[in-house]
Amino acid sequence: MDLIAKNNELEVQIESGSPLAYNLIMESETKPTFSKSTGLPRKRFYRARAHSNPLSDSHFPIPISPSHVDFSLHFPKFFGANNEEVSKKVEFADIGCGFGGLLISLATLFPDTLMIGMELRDKVTEYVKERILALRKTSSGGQYENVSVVRTNSMKYIPNYFEKGQLSKMFFLFPDPHFKEKNHRRRVISVDLLDEYAYVLRAGGIIYTITDVEELGEWMRSCLEKHPMFESLTQDELDSDPVVELLCSATEEGQKVARNGGQTFRAVFRRIAYVS
């Protein structure tokens, strides 16, 4: 069962006076993987390899269609049991969300928008889940109830999670460069994969990409320019978009690049309407 779903069940049990639930929650509060001062998980206990091979087989649940994704487990404050009377849908997807820095920033910038991170590495996904749960618990006013994370391979299963035209924003921040030419097929941005991204993005939806590898930056921009369903944002549009400045400042990778005085290469494109 999903960690966030487990936490929701424990809260129900503790409200009913279950001693088992109380002991489990107290145990989680005293885990050494959490900072005593902030109550947040500590990254050093969740470190993993920088990237995973997206073409390898991984073992985790995969929904057979978007209607089989129970988002009530991720956003219990927004959904009824078993997705009953769903009035909101996920609109933002952070592909390869890493340690969740962008998601956490977006959650307060867009408090009424549901967003989810999609991460292949199990330890990193676990960290983001723990971080979100801790922030929900320590924040007031229902903050961070609109953000969640799922372990999955987005290069294979994007259409399994989102309906046609569901998303308004997709983020691809500092993806694996896969430098060797024979591994370029592993890159998360390609002309072929853009077909799937265009499918789940609504007309007017935005794809945000950024990297500190110039060759990869040129590759992603070239793929987007070649695809008939995307057009580049103008400089005025970029300047007026509050999300753009977060692409570098909100992520661990972006902060590292800034500290080292490195360059970043950004490509932000709009999904255009289909004209038959």
- Active-site residue set: 176
DSSP state of 34: B
Name the nearest CA neighbour of 62 among 153, 163, 123: 153
> Can you list the pairs that 46-53 forms with residues at least 24 positions away whose Cβ atoms lie under 8 Å?
46/99, 46/123, 46/124, 46/126, 46/127, 46/130, 47/123, 48/121, 48/122, 48/123, 48/124, 49/121, 50/176, 51/121, 51/176, 52/120, 52/121, 53/186
Is 105 annotated for ligand binding? no
Is 173 annotated for ligand binding? yes
Is 253 annotated for ligand binding? yes
Is 120 annotated for ligand binding? yes
Is 73 annotated for ligand binding? no
Is 154 annotated for ligand binding? yes
d(C-alpha 97, C-alpha 112), whole Å: 20
> Can you read off the two tokens belonging to residue 58?
């991984």
Is 140 annotated for ligand binding? no
Contact (Cβ atoms closer than 8 angstroms) between residue 268 and residue 244: yes
d(C-alpha 276, C-alpha 273), whole Å: 10
Is 254 annotated for ligand binding? no
Is 135 annotated for ligand binding? no
Cite the annotated binding site for S-adenosyl-L-methionine by residue number.
Answer: 96, 119-120, 153-154, 173, 251-253
Cite the annotated binding site by residue number.
Answer: 96, 119-120, 153-154, 173, 251-253
